[in-house]
Amino acid sequence: MTAAAGTSPSEPEGQRLAKAVAALLTCSRRQAEQYIAEGWVRVDGVCVRTPQERVAPGQSVEVDGQAPLPTRLQPVLPATLLLHKPAGVSTQAALDQLTEAAHWSGDTSGIRLSTAHLRGLQALMPLPTPASGLCVFSQAPGVVRKLTEDAAFVEQELIAEVQGRDGMAPGGLARLGHGLVWAGRPLPPARVSWQSETRLRLAMKGIAPERVEWMCAQVGLQLQALRRIRLGRVPMAGLPVGQWRYLPMGERF
């Protein structure tokens, strides 16, 4: 559906795009803003996702023919985004990588990207800057609560690239899992196993990823790289570095 933008004495510079879309579709202003935020609207053939954008007289406003009816727009719900953070980028700086261009094409959540999903996100259970892997950013109160108040009970699975296996003391692997003391207190137990000659797998609760380098040093290993591949029941799976996907309905940490 297409229409030309008009003007009124109170809007000599054209009208807000949301108002033009609401008139075009005979829908509410809120629904019009959702159409725009979800990328259904084009102005002069160019997708515009900013509802407050002004359209000048004569500009063409078009709504994608595949757009749903106003009553069938996707529910407006808080979103949770999963990012494969690159090494060397802080978790806070990684917020800048949550863009439309970095949305993974393999996302099977069925959630249509909306610019509303990219606002007000909280970084949860952050990774150290040198580490890579699964990072979580959420607007959803339940997810935020789970990964803050209950973070100590959420298992993290990490892959550590290390050097020094040949010089590791006997029983070093067992110590990593059950025998280390930090600040006068035993660390919670962890499940630790070799994946290859230089790769350790750690599954742990209540231990911050920042501690892994220290843990390795206690048994004669030098940490070279660290990557988180799972948080609770949510795996990183095939998510490429620097890209993100939605946490779909039904997937829980």
Within 13 Å of residue 180, how many CA atoms lie on the same side as its CB? Answer: 23
Is the pLDDT assigned to residue 245 strictly greater than 80? yes
Looking at residues 1-24, what average pLDDT do you find?
73
Sign of CA dihedral 170, 174, 175, 179: negative
Delineate the domains of the chain, giving CATH numbers in brackets: 2-66 (3.10.290.10), 74-154+234-253 (3.30.70.580), 155-231 (3.30.70.1560)
| Whole-number pLDDT of residue 219 | 95
Task: Give strand pairing partners of 162.
Answer: 223
pLDDT at 244 over 70: yes
Distance CA 49, CA 40 (A): 8
How high is the pLDDT of residue 13? 72
Summary mean pLDDT of the chain = 94
Nearest to 183 by CA among 202, 204, 207, 155: 207
- Among 79-83, 168-172, 246-250, the minimum mean pLDDT is found in 168-172
91, pLDDT greater than 50: yes
- How far is residue 226's CA from residue 202's CA, in Å, rounded to a whole number? 10
Cα–Cα distance, 197 to 184 (Å, whole number)? 32
> Which residues have a Cβ under 8 Å from the Cβ of 253 and sit 6 or more positions away?
136, 143, 146, 147, 154, 231, 232, 233, 234
* Position 11 pLDDT exceeds 80: no
Residue with tokens 């006997």: 170
Task: Give the pLDDT of residue 146.
Answer: 97
The model's pLDDT over 25-82, given as tens digits with 9 standing for 90+, comes to 999 999 999 999 999 999 999 999 999 999 999 999 999 999 999 999 999 999 999 9
The model's pLDDT over 153-162, given as tens digits with 9 standing for 90+, comes to: 999 999 999 9
Predicted local confidence at residue 6, as pLDDT: 46
User: What pTM value is reported for the model?
Assistant: 0.89
Average pLDDT over residues 92-98: 94
- What is the H or E stretch that residue 181 is in? strand 181-182
Stretch 160-178: mean pLDDT: 92
Q: How far apart (Å, rounded) are the C-alpha atoms in residues 102 and 33?
A: 23
pLDDT computed for residue 1 by the predictor: 62
Give the pLDDT score at 70.
Answer: 95
Strand, coil or helix: what is 175?
Answer: helix
